[in-house]
Structure 1
């Protein structure tokens, strides 16, 4: 059985189609003005879900980059401190060698003792190096100075670990126990060794016979600095990877959410033509009424 098409049906269909056409133009206009494919999750749930995932990844990446930067700062300061400590110990070794000169008077040896005391104080200042108010050679007890009253008193050897990638933790501090509290065969760390040297020099006794002990401390310091250098290289690689990942995720998010402006403009122009054609067709569909003849 055929369906009778009435004028009201034609009018309603025309208005519905015109409204749909205007809705499409409104969506395209919104994409053009915002630069985004969607303005609300209901526009495209898949795009919205992916966008949330990409944003979450970027936030995690940003935190990992901050952690890596902090780790690098810790390591760079530690490396500078170890380099300065090496220079101090090398200067002390030079004095030790000079003390073996038999022509030196007792006053010269006493002057060396005084310089060694000052160099010891400098080593203490290095051991108490801080970053952001935290002591870098105090293990996890970062609020307590490890060097106090002329000796290294800290016993904390715990690592400070930062997460620089998912489930990847990197120790950022150097264990001060293995440097400033490293004991030789006689149980002396570097500070006690310097005290013993200064005492002998003040008595007019050379200390060149203690060179083996000083070489032990210097070799140990150089080994720890080499180990730190390997960690610095790793952090630099991690930072490069995080920077690359940030770019990649940002590109994926842009592809997922950003509208293709050229395509949107083309579609908008096409839809405008379609809408004009629909208006023209609608004008022909609407039949004239008695009032149109009475004008």
Structure 2
């Protein structure tokens, strides 16, 4: 006969089986063997660590892809530079021929100089992730032209010589700039340019201040003034479409107030700028001496170059601290200066011979740089494949710990369902027997 304690024991057993049944259903529906810490505390800890490692390996592969893109872009730029140098070499060989006259070599030299400028343009325009892999840090604008606050002391008058040069640059973000000029009877004029060659403030090229410096048209200013040593981009082109010769004007959000060229009535000029939104180059063009007084409320971030400096380190390991590994990608400068061709020309037979020797050296240097990037690309591809294998293995290990074994869990579910049905039947039978005993006792009492 079943007692009350037997009934309670059966109820507790049935509750436990219901719990097992629910756990099996949860694992089968979620596909995960560990849905809470109580399912497998040790396994959960290991799986969490493996999940962190798996995410890191995925990010490392993205890092390596970025590094491959950096190297490929740099290599493409060097390939174009090599093609230009090959053409320059052909011109140098042609210029060595004794049959050429001086005018013939002058014609060859014009193309030669344009190709040199194109080499520089490639170096400065090969940009990857806001970096310049083909430009040495010393080739940046701030290395050639000093900031306004480095050249002048605010409020103090400085005597300087005018000419075809940049006297200072105003960093982006500078506020309350004021410039006063006294040229003592000479026609020296304030000129303001952007680094791309846009003429913002000053006098047109037809003015005498330019003429005394042999600047009469856009070609003259691009060849003689728009130089990197004056702070201009290698591909700078003259643009006076927005030139302001006097009055108030706005350029890219900055407000300029310019007195204009008062020559011959007066030789005093003044310029104020409320705030610069980009670096500006200041020149005083003419052929004399002048006094200049400069003031400012604040000077923006030093350096006009918007690019990050130095090489890059590509993450190659999932280790932390001392064990962290990187694939280093150093810069490979390929400007006129770094390649040693800045002063080359084809004006004479001797200079053509010198140019040929320098071009051969430059080609060799570019070949070494391309080989460097090729080796780095192969290294990163190898690291990518190794990291992908590790990621796959870590994912497999994590899966073995956390994923549901459907065959095993289905068998457990079936077992739990059978036991549950048997328990329900047993409890029903127990209640029926207890009822029969009570009926017999009641009959006897009567």
Please report the TM-score for the alignment, with normalisation by the length of structure 1.
Answer: 0.82
**Does residue 248 of structure 1 match 2:393?**
yes
Alignment counterpart, residue 132 of structure 1, candidates 122, 129, 145: 129
Paired residues of 2:28 and 2:409 also in contact (CA < 8 A): yes
**Does residue 239 of structure 1 match 2:384?**
yes
CA 267–142 in structure 1, closer or farther in 2 if over 3 Å, else same:
farther
CA 28–98 in structure 1, closer or farther in 2 if over 3 Å, else same:
same
Deviates more, 1:18-27 or 1:207-216: 207-216
Name the residue aligned to 1:21. 17
Larger helix percent: 1
CA RMSD of aligned residues (A): 3.2
Deviates more, 1:109-118 or 1:49-58: 109-118
Secondary structure of 1:170's aligned partner = strand
Find the aligned partners of 2:142 and 2:403 in 1 and give their Cα distance: 53
User: Structure 2 stretches of 5 or more lacking a match?
Assistant: 145-194, 196-226, 232-304
The structural deviation recorded for 1:96 is 0.5
The structural deviation recorded for 1:15 is 0.5
Name the residue aligned to 1:168. 325
**Does residue 258 of structure 1 match 2:403?**
yes
Secondary structure of 1:104's aligned partner = coil
The structural deviation recorded for 1:173 is 3.8
Name the residue aligned to 1:273. 418
Find the aligned partners of 1:139 and 1:212 in 2 and give their Cα distance: 23
Paired residues of 1:135 and 1:143 also in contact (CA < 8 A): no
Alignment of 1:92-171 (within 5 A): 92-128=88-124, 129-138=126-135, 149-150=227-228, 158-165=310-317, 166=319, 167-171=324-328
Larger strand percent: 2
Secondary structure of 1:289's aligned partner = helix
The structural deviation recorded for 1:213 is 2.2
The structural deviation recorded for 1:288 is 2.2
The structural deviation recorded for 1:272 is 0.9
Secondary structure of 2:398's aligned partner = helix
Query: Any idea what the Cα deviations from partners look like across 1:212-247, whole Å, max 9, x if unmatched?
Result: 222122112212221221111101101111111121
Name the residue aligned to 2:220. none
Find the aligned partners of 1:253 and 1:22 in 2 and give their Cα distance: 29
The structural deviation recorded for 1:94 is 0.8
CA 141–35 in structure 1, closer or farther in 2 if over 3 Å, else same:
farther
Find the aligned partners of 1:37 and 1:133 in 2 and give their Cα distance: 46
Name the residue aligned to 1:186. none
Deviates more, 1:229-238 or 1:107-116: 107-116
Query: Any idea what the Cα deviations from partners look like across 1:71-97, whole Å, max 9, x if unmatched?
Result: 111111111111111111111111111
Alignment of 1:200-215 (within 5 A): 200-201=346-347, 207-215=352-360
User: Structure 1 stretches of 5 or more lacking a match?
Assistant: 184-188
**Does residue 289 of structure 1 match 2:439?**
no
Please report the TM-score for the alignment, with normalisation by the length of structure 2.
Answer: 0.56
Find the aligned partners of 1:146 and 1:180 in 2 and give their Cα distance: 15
